[in-house]
A and B are shown apart, each in its own frame.
Chain A
Amino acid sequence: DGGITQSPKYLFRKEGQNVTLSCEQNLNHDAMYWYRQDPGQGLRLIYYSQIVNDFQKGDIAEGYSVSREKKESFPLTVTSAQKNPTAFYLCASSKGVFGTVFHQPQHFGDGTRLSIL
């Protein structure tokens, strides 16, 4: 079945440690996104990528990094510079870029919960 796979489901980070969250999609979608959700709050955009080898900062990119070496993969690294990393991280993808294919929604993976040890 086509979909988005995030791993791990739960992750614990020690002080000063970088951790990487995996996101893989087999939907042949061009665009991929990373969001952070804190308890009782909405989704906030961290980074997004419309094509391979290109990505853009979202609203809260500080302390995070991404890469897009393959169309299917968009890993997120939470660096030690992110002082409050505890949150629910959601990866999403959508078809089409730059206004093409209207009404194409985002599809989400089932998320990674990150906590500090």
Chain B
Amino acid sequence: RKEVEQDPGPFNVPEGATVAFNCTYSNSASQSFFWYRQDCRKEPKLLMSVYSSGNEDGRFTAQLNRASQYISLLIRDSKLSDSATYLCVVKRTSNTGNQFYFGTGTSLTVIP
């Protein structure tokens, strides 16, 4: 079973729409959670960390459900510039140090 699973999409939504991405992780010992965005042929960039109580950054809201091992990202009022691939990332510590586990990403295209 993969460490992190995401719906690959693609999600094609009109400008102004609300869109939600989901992610599940397999190891309950996972400690920290993040959403990254990756533009075509570029490096991943941190979008936001995900905290247990849920957190919001402008149009973006992240939620964590530890019991269900489920993470979500909600984007409100989508902009053309939101078009990218969104990566769900989970961090866990082993006896060899911290490791980050990446989902394969969910592709979003915002249409004018």
Same complex: yes
A residues in contact (CB < 8 Å) with B: 31, 33, 41-43, 45, 48, 50, 56, 88, 90, 92, 94, 96-99, 102-111
Q: Name the distance in Å between A40's Cβ and chain B's nearest Cβ.
A: 9
| A111, B102: Cβ atoms closer than 8 Å | no
| B45, A42: Cβ atoms closer than 8 Å | no
| B44, A48: Cβ atoms closer than 8 Å | no
Q: Indicate with 1 or 0, residue by residue over B82-108, a CB within 8 angstroms of chain A CB atoms.
A: 000001010101001111101111000
Q: Indicate with 1 or 0, residue by residue over B17-45, a CB within 8 angstroms of chain A CB atoms.
A: 00000000000000110101000011111
B residues in contact (CB < 8 Å) with A: 31-32, 34, 36, 41-46, 49, 51, 87, 89, 91, 93, 96-100, 102-105
Residues in B with CB closer than 8 Å to A110 are: 42-43
**Out of A41, A94, A108, A111, which one reaches B98, CB within 8 Å?**
A94
| A105, B98: Cβ atoms closer than 8 Å | no
**Closest chain B residue to A106, Cβ basis:** B100
Q: In the assembly, what is the distance between CA of A109 and CA of B51, in Å? A: 25
Residues in A with CB closer than 8 Å to B46 are: 105-107
Given contact pairs A42-B103, A105-B32, A105-B34, enumerate 12 new A-B contacts (beta carbons under 8 Å). Answer: A42-B87, A43-B102, A50-B96, A50-B98, A99-B98, A102-B31, A103-B51, A108-B44, A110-B42, A110-B43, A111-B42, A111-B43
| B32, A43: Cβ atoms closer than 8 Å | no
Q: In the assembly, what is the distance between CA of A105 and CA of B87, in Å? A: 13
Residues in B with CB closer than 8 Å to A43 are: 44, 87, 102
Q: Name the distance in Å between B66's Cβ and chain A's nearest Cβ.
A: 14
Known: A102-B32, A108-B43. A97 touches B103 (CB 8 A): no
Residues in B with CB closer than 8 Å to A41 are: 104
Residues in A with CB closer than 8 Å to B42 are: 110-111
